Amino acid sequence: QILASKMFNELDQPAPQTRYIALFIDDVYEGLGIHIALADSRTNGQYDSESEFPVLPDLEELKQWARDTPAGDAFYAGIRERFGLEKLTDLLCVYSIMGTVHLYDEEFHLYKEQREDSLWNVIPAVSHRSFGKNLREELQETQRPITPMLNDYFAYEYPIDESEVTNSLIVKFHQTPQLREQFGKRLLYLMDEVFTPNWFDTRIDKLEEKIGAYMQRRDGFERRQGQHHSPAETWPYQVEALRDFIELRYAFIRSMLLFDRPVAWHNRVEMHLSTEDSGRILFTDDAGWTIAAIDIEPDGIQGNPEVLLYLTPDHENDGITQNWHAEVEGGSISGTITLYYRNDIAPDGRDNYYMHDDAVGRQWELELFLDGTAVDSRPNPFSNKVTAEVRLSGSHILQLLHGE
Contact 164, 102 (CB under 8 A): yes
- DSSP state, 351? -
Res. 48: pLDDT tops 50? no
pLDDT tier for residue 69 given thresholds of 50, 70 and 90: very high
pLDDT of residue 347: 57
Query: In terms of pLDDT, which residue wins out, 151 or 139?
Result: 151
Residue 241, Ramachandran bin (φ over 0: left; ψ between -120 and 50: alpha; else beta): alpha
pLDDT of residue 5: 87
pLDDT of residue 107: 58
pLDDT tier for residue 50 given thresholds of 50, 70 and 90: very low
pLDDT digits (tens, 9 = 90+) for 89-123: 999 999 899 987 666 665 567 777 777 788 888 88
CA-nearest of 353, 329, 134 to 245 is: 134
User: What average pLDDT does the structure give for the chain?
Assistant: 84
Residues linked to residue 279 through DSSP beta bridges, in sequence order: 296
Long-range pairs of 133-137 with CB within 8 A, sequence gap ≥ 24: 133/99, 133/100, 133/102, 133/158, 135/346, 136/345, 136/346, 136/349, 137/346, 137/347
pTM score, whole prediction: 0.89
pLDDT digits (tens, 9 = 90+) for 333-375: 999 999 999 987 665 566 889 998 888 889 999 999 999 999 9
pLDDT of residue 52: 41
Contact 391, 398 (CB under 8 A): no
Res. 41: pLDDT tops 80? no
Q: Are strands 385-402 and 377-380 parallel, antiparallel or unpaired?
A: antiparallel
pLDDT digits (tens, 9 = 90+) for 226-280: 666 677 788 999 999 999 999 999 999 999 888 655 445 578 999 999 988 889 9
pLDDT tier for residue 203 given thresholds of 50, 70 and 90: very high
Contact 221, 231 (CB under 8 A): no
pLDDT of residue 315: 95
pLDDT of residue 122: 82
Query: In terms of pLDDT, which residue wins out, 225 or 13?
Result: 13
CA contacts within 13 A on the Cβ side of 404: 4
pLDDT of residue 126: 61
The mean per-residue pLDDT over the stretch 127-133 comes to 66
pLDDT digits (tens, 9 = 90+) for 309-331: 999 999 999 999 999 999 999 99
- DSSP state, 124? -
pLDDT of residue 282: 96
pLDDT of residue 136: 56
pLDDT of residue 335: 96
The mean per-residue pLDDT over the stretch 175-189 comes to 95
Residues linked to residue 292 through DSSP beta bridges, in sequence order: 283, 339
Res. 143: pLDDT tops 50? no
Residues linked to residue 320 through DSSP beta bridges, in sequence order: 354
